[in-house]
Structure 1
Amino acid sequence: MSGPIQTILRRVRRGSRDVVENAVSQLFDAAVQPHGVADSGEYRIDDLARLAGTTTRNIRVYRDRGLLHPPLRVGRIALFNDTHLTRLRLITSLLDRGYNIAHVKEMLSAWEQGKDIGDMLGLESAIAGSWATEKPQRMPLTAARRLIDDDAGFDRLVSLGIIRLEDDEHATIVRPTLVEAFAEIRQYGVALDKLIDLHERVTPLLDQISAILVQAGLEEVVDKINPGAAVPDDVEVAQLITTLVRFRTQAVTAVGATLAFSIESQVESTVAQLLGEMIEKTAEAAGE
C-alpha cells in the first residue's frame, strides 16, 4: 500500500470512532427528516431512482413498506425531494450490507425515536458494515462433529479456521455455507480430504483476487480525498463508506459471474474432450 494511502488511513483511524459515529448519525438524521423540511431538489420517481442507483419498482416497494415518506402530490405527479433521496440512498446502503427490509425499517424507526446509532449498529458495523455473507453458527461440539462425520476432516477444518472450538462442549461453524457445500458434494462420493485439499489450493488465488479488488476500491475512495487536507467532514466520510459498501456488493457479483462463466466453459471443454476420447476408443474397438 502506498505512502499517501497509509497516511490517510492513519489519520482517519485516529479519529475513526467520532468521525464514523458522526457520519452515520448525520446520514440517519438526514434520512429521517419529516416531509416538509426545506429541500433543494424536486424529482419525479424516474429521476429519483436514477440518482439513487435503484429502480422505480424498488422505490414503490419501499413506500408500500413504510420506509419512505409519501411524496408531494401535484395533480397526478408525485414529486420527491432531497430528503427522499438521502433516505433512499441509506436504505440501499443498508440492504447492500445484508439487512433485510424489516431490519432497515426497524433501524430507521428506532433512529426517529432517538435511539443511539451505537446501540443499533455498533461501531464495528458502522465502519465495516454487516458484510458477512456467512453467519457463524454455534452448536454443541457433538453436533458439529456429527455434522462433519469425519474426525480427521473435522480436525483439519479446525486448523484452517473453518470451525472454531469454543470450549470442551461447544464449537462454531465459522463458514457454514462452505461446510454445507462440502456436505452436498460428498453425497456424490467425493472424499472430504479432497475437498479440503481443493479449498487450500483455491483460497490463496481468491485472496489475490480480493486484494486486487479491495485495493481498487480503496484507490477509488482515496482519489476523492486530498492527502494534504484535513479529514473530510462527516457527510463526505459517510458517502465514502457507502461507496465502499456498494463496491463490495458489485465486486462480489462481478467475480461470481466471471467465475461461473469460466467454470461453465471449462466443464463444456472437458465434457467435449471426454466424449471425443470415448468416440475415438469406440471407433478403434470397432475397427479391430
Structure 2
Amino acid sequence: MTELAKEAGITVRTLRFYRERKLLPPPRRQGRIAWYGEHHLARLRTISALLERGHTLNGIAELAEAFDHGRDVGELLGFDAPSEEIPVRLSPEELADHFAGEVTPENLATALELGYLGTDGGEIVHVSRRLLDVSSAMVREGIPLAAVLEAGRRVREHADALAEIFTELVAAHASPEDVQRLRPLAKSVVEAELSMALDRRLAAGQNTEPDEEKKAGSGG
C-alpha cells in the first residue's frame, strides 16, 4: 500500500480514505498479503485528474460505479458484425476533457445505456469516432450533453426504422449478401433526404418571419 501511494503521489491516509469510499477496487489477496496492480494505480491517477478538473469525490464515486457496471465493449460492438465505425479508447479524464463539465453520472449512465460507451479493463471505449467528434462539437457550441444524448436516442429510433426499410428492400429484390455491398447507396439516400428536409425546415422558418414581424408591427 505504501508503494502504491508513493507511485500515485498521495499519502497512505488518502489511499485508505479512497478505499473506504469505494473509489478504488479491492486488492487481490493472497493470505494476509494485499496485491495492488496497474489498474489500481491508473484509477488513483484518474481520481487525481478528475479532482483537478473540478469533480467532487461523490461524483467520482458515482462515475466509478457506472464504469465498473458498464457493459463490456465486445458485447456492444459484436466481433463478427461488419462496421464502418472506428472505436476510440479513452481514459476517464480524456472523456472529461471531451465534454468539459458535462460528464455527470446521469449523462454517463445514459451514454452507457445507449451503447455509445463500453468498458475494456480500465479503459472506456466509445463505439464511434464520428459520434464522439460530433457530440463533443455540439457541446462546445453550447448544447447541453444531456440534450445531445436525448437527440441521439430519438435519432437511433429513426435510424433503426430506416435500416429496416433498406434491409427489407434488399431482401425482397436481392440476396442478403448484397446488404453490405449496397450499404453506401442506402447511406446516400438517407443523407440526401436529410439534407432536403433541413432545406425545407430552414425555408419554412424564413417564410414565417415576415408574417410574425407584421403581426408585431400591427400590434401598436
Provide the TM-score with structure 2 as the length reference.
0.56
Deviation at 1:196, TM superposition (A): 1.3
Identity, in percent, stands at: 15
- 1:201 counterpart residue number: 154
The answer to whether 1:174 aligns with 2:130 is no
- 2:98 counterpart residue number: 147
Structure 2 gaps of 5+ residues are: 1-78
Cα separation, partners in 2 of 1:175 and 1:274, compared to 1, 3 Å: farther
- 1:214 counterpart residue number: 167
What amino acid is aligned across from residue 171 of structure 2 in structure 1? L
Q: Given that residues 99 and 139 in structure 2 are in contact (C-alpha distance below 8 angstroms), is that contact kept between their aligned partners in structure 1?
A: no
Alignment deviations for residues 118-170 of structure 1 (CA, whole Å, 9 cap, x no partner):
xxxxx94xxx6x5x332001122321232233223233212211011223x31
RMSD, aligned CA: 2.3
Q: Which is bigger in relative contact order (C-alpha 8 A, separation at least 6)? A: 1
Q: Given that residues 88 and 127 in structure 2 are in contact (C-alpha distance below 8 angstroms), is that contact kept between their aligned partners in structure 1?
A: yes
| Inter-partner Cα distance in structure 1 for 2:142 and 2:214 | 26
Cα separation, partners in 2 of 1:176 and 1:155, compared to 1, 3 Å: farther
What amino acid is aligned across from residue 159 of structure 1 in structure 2? E
> Aligned pair count?
139
Structure 1 gaps of 5+ residues are: 1-122, 223-239
Deviation at 1:205, TM superposition (A): 1.7
Deviation at 1:251, TM superposition (A): 0.9
Deviates more, 1:179-188 or 1:201-210: 179-188
- 1:191 counterpart residue number: 144
Deviation at 1:279, TM superposition (A): 4.0
Cα separation, partners in 2 of 1:190 and 1:260, compared to 1, 3 Å: same
The answer to whether 1:165 aligns with 2:100 is no
Q: State which of 203, 208, 211 in structure 2 corresponds to 1:276.
A: 211
Deviation at 1:195, TM superposition (A): 1.5
- 1:21 counterpart residue number: none
What amino acid is aligned across from residue 96 of structure 2 in structure 1? R
Cα separation, partners in 2 of 1:178 and 1:279, compared to 1, 3 Å: farther
What amino acid is aligned across from residue 284 of structure 1 in structure 2? S
Cα separation, partners in 2 of 1:194 and 1:275, compared to 1, 3 Å: farther
Q: Given that residues 86 and 129 in structure 2 are in contact (C-alpha distance below 8 angstroms), is that contact kept between their aligned partners in structure 1?
A: yes
| Inter-partner Cα distance in structure 1 for 2:139 and 2:113 | 20
What amino acid is aligned across from residue 144 of structure 1 in structure 2? L
- 1:38 counterpart residue number: none
- 1:266 counterpart residue number: 201
Aligned positions of 1:32-181 closer than 5 A: 124=80, 130=82, 132-149=83-100, 150=102, 151=104, 152-167=106-121, 169-181=122-134
Deviation at 1:192, TM superposition (A): 1.2
Deviates more, 1:138-147 or 1:157-166: 138-147
The structure with the larger Rg is 1
SS of residue in 1 equivalent to 2:124: strand
